[in-house]
A = this chain, B = another copy of it.
Amino acid sequence: MTLDQLQTQFEAFKTKKLALDMSRGKPSAAQLDLSNELLDIVTSKDYLSSQGAETRNYGGLDGLPETKELFKNFLEVSSVEEVVVGGNASLTIMHDIISRGITHGMCDSELAWGKQTIKFICPVPGYDRHFSICQHFGIEMIPVACNENGPDMDQVEQLVANDASIKGIWIVPKYSNPTGLSCSDEVVDRLSSMKTAANDFRIFWDNAYAVHHLSEDKDVLKNILTSCKAAGNDNRPFILCSTSKITFAGAGVSAVGGSVANMDWYRGHLFFSTIGPDKLNQVRHNRFFKNIEGLHKHMEKHAALLKPRFEKTLSILETELGGTGLATWTKPNGGYFISLDVPNGCAKRVVALAGEAGVKLTGAGATYPDKKDPNDSNIRLAPSCPTVNEIEQAMQIVCLATKIAAVEVDIVKDSVLS
């Protein structure tokens, strides 16, 4: 097919004046409906905690006992002392912990992070909001390639062993944003046991997709806190999660887990900023899930909605780009994203072309620190929100745009494309 022919196809799509969005890792309306019972489950007749505690008044700095118990099981930590329940977003907890690191340091810091030059390792491609936090606090970001098992550990180990200013690493361990892939047991063990020049090194273990499987084919990871403890690095991980993509995004419950020393440090800090998070919303969530098994059961309903969307995305990629050598993509068992790599120098062009044809994609580069993808090749696809039919159209446009961009930069001769 010639460039002319590709462009004719493309113009045909443009005349449809589509408005499709594969840019955001948002639950669809159908997914939100799965949790509507949350809105009816606490009433004026019935608002006490399961233990009879008043939920309408002050108190409960780190969560209701029953909510801590639920998140203990979610975070897979060993006691409720290793849990702090937060507000509606784990992003807020992550920002908060780093902000307090900047002003005060961690529980084992000799000096507040703000009083020194500090660096974080940023596996790439990764989550833009993690990188934004670093940028905001002037934390230097060191990109390290993320492969199918997690970050390149040879590189990570060498970096942290030799530079005491490296204080942290961002990890989305399961169904990572944007690759959808998970850390192998070896990576978990190496992260847990590696020698760090900094005494106060932290892993920000953002387990945002901990229970977000697409099918029975589930990724199972080694327990990061157990591994860190076994290596004598008890205070290394902060484990983050929320129900934003389980119940309601923005009206869910978040939590952080880690060693008692880390959690006591955080509770000590929280005293200055809050009397406690919204307990009524905690009760709603406890009643809705009943227990961790109930939460897992609930996730199967999400999977039923997400799986066909992922399958459609992958099938169009395979049909349109399979065998062309123009692109590679991940095939996740869970999460919210598929990571697509187009020829170097083409990602921005593909996103722009798709936009012209009415398909909104995450900005090219967003998955890299400072929004700069050095290869300009990575594109994050978010199939959760559009319908399967919309995905079919959107992905055909994305694939066509990939072919056009590749021909434009002479990656392939147009005649090669069928």
Contacts and interface: CB of A to CB of B under 8 A. Distances in A.
Interface of A: 24, 26-27, 29, 32, 35-40, 42-44, 47, 54-60, 87-89, 91-92, 95-96, 99-100, 102-103, 114, 129, 132-133, 136-137, 244, 248-251, 271-281
Nearest to A277: B88
- The count of identical subunits is 2
Contacts of A47: 36, 39
Given A38-B44, A58-B250, A251-B278, 12 more contacts: A26-B57, A32-B57, A36-B44, A36-B47, A40-B44, A56-B249, A88-B278, A89-B275, A95-B274, A129-B272, A248-B280, A251-B279
Contact of A275 (B250, B277, B280): B250
A55 B47 CA distance: 22
Given A89-B275, A274-B91, A250 B96 contact: no
A39 B48 CA distance: 12
Nearest to A28: B57
Contacts of A276: 250
B280 A39 contact: yes
A279 B88 CA distance: 10
A272 B95 contact: yes
A344 to B, nearest CB: 31
A273 B96 contact: yes
Chain A interface, DSSP helix/strand/loop, else mixed: loop
A249 B57 CA distance: 5
Contacts of A272: 95, 129, 132-133, 136
Contact of A58 (B24, B114, B132): B24
A275 B57 CA distance: 26
29 contacts: A26-B57, A29-B54, A32-B56, A32-B57, A36-B44, A38-B44, A39-B42, A40-B44, A56-B248, A57-B248, A57-B249, A57-B250, A58-B244, A60-B250, A87-B88, A88-B274, A88-B277, A91-B274, A91-B275, A92-B274, A95-B272, A99-B103, A102-B103, A114-B114, A250-B276, A250-B278, A251-B278, A251-B279, A281-B281
A250 B250 CA distance: 17
Contacts of A248: 56-57, 280
A59 B24 CA distance: 11
A47 B132 CA distance: 32
